[in-house]
Chain A
Amino acid sequence: MTKARTNASASPAVGRNMVINGAMNVAQRATSVTGLGAASGYFTLDRWYIAEGDASAGRFTMSQTADGPNGISANCLKLDCTTADTSIAAGEALILRQRFEGQNVQRIGKGVAGAKQITVSFYVKANAAFTFGVELFDEDNARQITKLFATTTDWVRHELTFAADEDDGSSPFVDDNANSFILAFWLHGGATFTGGTLNTATFANNTNANRAAGIGSFFSSTDNNFFITGVQMEVGPVATEFEQEDISTTLAKCERYFEKTYNQGVNPATETPLGADSTGGVTGNNSTGEIGSRFSFRTTKRAAPTVVIYDLAGNTPKVTRGLYGTGTSANQTGAASSQSQNSVFINSASGDNASEFYVHFTADAEL
Chain B
Amino acid sequence: MENNMNIASAQYVSDMDGNNSGVQATIDGQTMSVPLDPANRHYAEILRQVEAGTITIADAD
Contact = CB atoms under 8 A, between A and B. Distances in A.
A29 to B, nearest CB: 12
Contacts of B28: 39, 41
B51 interface: no
A-B residue pairs, 7 tightest by C-beta: A304-B35, A303-B39, A336-B33, A304-B37, A339-B35, A337-B22, A338-B21
B33 A317 contact: yes
Interface stretch (A5-13, A158-166, A305-313): A305-313
Interface in A253-311: 302-309
A338 B15 contact: yes
10 contacts: A39-B4, A303-B35, A304-B35, A305-B35, A307-B32, A308-B30, A335-B13, A337-B22, A338-B22, A344-B33
Contacts of B3: 40
A344 B13 CA distance: 13
A113 interface: no
B23 to A, nearest CB: 9
A178 B33 contact: no
B1 A53 contact: yes
Interface of A: 39-41, 51-53, 91, 93, 177-178, 302-309, 316-317, 335-339, 344-345, 364-367
Contacts of B39: 177-178, 302-304
Contacts, number: 73
Given A335-B13, A338-B21, A39 B34 contact: no
Contacts of B32: 306-308
Given A306-B40, A306-B42, A335 B33 contact: yes
Which of B39, B42, B43 has the most chain A CB within a 10 Å cutoff?
A: B39
Contacts of A337: 13, 15, 21-22, 33
Contact of B34 (A41, A306, A317): A306
Contacts of A304: 35-37, 39-40
B4 A305 contact: no
A309 to B, nearest CB: 7
Nearest to A309: B33
A305 B34 CA distance: 7
Interface in B20-52: 21-22, 24, 28, 30-37, 39-43
B42 to A, nearest CB: 5
Contacts of B31: 308, 316-317
